Amino acid sequence: MASLPSELGSSTKDLITRYYQMASMVLRKLQERNIQHTPPRTGPMFTISQAAALVGRSASAIRIAEAEGRLPHQERNMAGRRKGYTLRDLDTMRQVFDTRPWRQEGDPPAVIACQNFKGGVGKSTIAVHMAQYLAIHGYRVLLVDADAQASATMQFGYIPDQDLDEFDSIYALLQGKPERGIAQIVRKTHFHNLDLIPANLKLYNAEYEVAARISVHGFSVLTTLARDIHKIADNYDVIIMDPPPALGMVSLSVMYAANALLIPVPPSIVDFASTTAFLSMLDETMGALNEHNIQPEYGFVGMVISKSDANIESQRQIVDITNTVFGRSVFAQELKTSAEFNNAASQLKTVFDMTSSTTNHAVRTRCLNQLNNLGRELEQNIRKLWPSKADEI
């Protein structure tokens, strides 16, 4: 039977404080074990055939370019084989072969909010993996962690409340009194061409402070983040934003800054109901914003069926309903449950970070295929936003 605070000789406040302190200490030790007791993070490596597929040229074309000196010679191991190509190497190849997929001047950067009303739907998992997928495929990407839980931030090797303060996140920007501009809080990651604006628990305070600013300055406060994002948008092809799982002030700021929306929808009645509630509140909120001449417009709204299991009949029914209701907005590729996601997350990493299977080869291959298929669908939607790519669609 649970003990009451009075039985423990303390007030409820003292009890909660003690529990928080104990849990924080344990969490910090777990994070330190996962982050500090592993080698420094490096980006993925690719064989010559993988590199050829990613840069859009043949393996022989790469070998010829290396022989001619247009590409640097690759280091070889004791067996005489190439050690592998990094993301930076792939970027150099794309530059030499003129196959970079970057948007052209005049094309708007894709600013994608990955959002739902409920936690545990795979929001951060999708945001981080899609950011990495796009970086692997040659795009210049910024990931903005706008969630105080900082799940995305931890997957890049940070202990948020130990390594970061409120000036390292968008918190100070939302306050309207940043110590540093947005360009100064962007951090490089171990993935070439993927930058990060991290988060930590301090960001939670922004909910109240933005609301207080709105009471004084009006709803235009919600455009603050959009204006800051605009200052650095020219540096990127895609900006993916991971807001908190609630339609609060931070999420509204993210939604206004975005020009596309990605909604994870697990196939359960509870999650479908939550998605319906999210859309209802979003509709109501956008109506209220429109009355104040704040009008978010999205180039696409995509639904991703996440955490699905084909062996559960009730889930298949919800998948069918989701496809019927949302039609072409639903991505064809589902992101199914996989031990690969869980095992990578337990090491504060992603599936793309892992160099080998944590289960078996077949499971890892299936998981990677899902991520790559989902990434291709997202990539197609992104390129529809760019007038210069209209002839390719």
Q: Within this chain, do residues 71 and 205 fall inside the same structural domain, yes or no? A: no
Q: Of 32, 63, 97, which closes a domain?
A: 97
118 and 90 inside one domain: no
Amino acid at 63: R
User: What's CA 171's distance to the chain center, in Å?
Assistant: 18
Please enumerate in sequence order all residues whose Cβ is within 8 A of that of 4, keeping only pairs 6 or more positions apart, or say none.
Answer: none
Here the CATH number for the domain that contains residue 82 is 1.10.1660.10
Shared domain for 166 and 73, answered yes or no, is no
Whether residues 139 and 257 fall in one domain? yes
Indicate the pLDDT class of residue 37, thresholds 50, 70 and 90: low
Residue 34 lies in a domain: no
Residue in the block written with tokens 């919800």: 318
Q: What is the Cα–Cα distance from 94 to 55, expressed in whole angstroms?
A: 6
Check whether residue 71 and residue 189 sit in a common domain: no
Residue 85 and residue 230 share a domain:
no
Q: Would 17 be classed as within a structural domain?
A: no
pLDDT in tens, 340-359: 999 998 888 999 999 888 88
Question: Does residue 251 sit in the same domain as residue 358?
Answer: yes
- 30 pLDDT higher than 70: yes
| Co-location of 147 and 84 in the same domain | no
State pLDDT tens for residues 262-301.
Answer: 999 999 999 999 999 989 988 988 888 888 888 888 999 9
Whether 83 and 221 map to the same domain: the answer is: no
Instruction: Answer whether 260's CB lies under 8 Å from 134's CB.
Output: no
Q: Are residues 340 and 213 in the same domain?
A: yes
How far apart are alpha carbons 114 and 263 in whole angstroms?
6
Q: How many structural domains compose the chain?
A: 2
pTM for this entry: 0.91
Cα separation of 284 and 288, whole Å? 6
C-alpha span between 160 and 164 (Å, rounded): 5
Distant-in-sequence, close-in-space partners of 262: CB < 8 Å, separation ≥ 6: 112, 113, 114, 115, 126, 127, 130, 302, 304, 378
pLDDT band at 196 (very low <50, low <70, confident <90, very high): very high
Tokens of 316: 């298949």
Asked, for residue 33, whether it belongs to a domain, the answer is no
Closest by alpha carbon to 143, among 161, 180, 167, 170? 170
Do 72 and 129 reside in the same domain of the chain?
no
Domain co-membership, 239 together with 122: yes
| Residue 26 placed within a domain | no
* Rounded Cα distance, 294 and 219, in Å: 8
Confidence of residue 8 (pLDDT cuts 50, 70, 90): low
What percentage of the chain exceeds 90 in pLDDT? 67
Range of the domain at 330: 110-392
Last residue of a domain, one of 34, 68, 97: 97
CATH of the domain at 231: 3.40.50.300
Flag whether 272 is in a domain.
Answer: yes
Beta strand 260-264 pairing with 238-242: unpaired
Q: Tell me: the pLDDT tens digits for 53-90?
A: 999 999 999 999 999 999 998 887 777 677 889 999 99
Tell me if 20 is assigned to some domain. no
